């Protein structure tokens, strides 16, 4: 496994984890009557997820000349 593939694997896992945590925190706030901290963590985690997605696309564009395997 190349370093590029390894990087993309962990990047995709990080994006999935960030959005899952955001969904959990937003659920806690809206359905369980959580605190403003839950809402803030949900929005921050969503922002992190979108930031990681943008980083992933920039990374792919910069390393398109490098093979995956």
Average of per-residue pLDDT values in the chain: 94
Residue 21 is predicted with a pLDDT of: 97
Q: Residue written as tokens 């809206």? A: 30
Question: pLDDT tens digit string along 13-47?
Answer: 999 999 999 999 999 999 988 899 999 999 999 99
pLDDT for 50: 98
Look at residue 23 in the predicted model and tell me its pLDDT.
97
Which pTM was predicted?
A: 0.86
Note every long-range contact of 6-14, with CB atoms under 8 Å and residues 24 or more positions apart, other chains counting.
7/59, 8/56, 8/59, 8/60, 11/52, 11/55, 11/56, 11/59, 12/56, 14/52
């Amino acid at each position: 496994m190349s370093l590029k593939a390894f990087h993309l694997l962990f990047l995709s896992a990080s994006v999935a984890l960030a959005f899952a945590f955001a969904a959990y925190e937003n659920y806690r706030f809206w359905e369980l009557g959580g605190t403003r901290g839950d809402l803030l963590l949900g929005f921050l985690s969503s922002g992190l997820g979108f930031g990681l997605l943008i980083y992933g696309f920039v990374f792919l564009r910069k390393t398109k000349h490098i093979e995956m395997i």
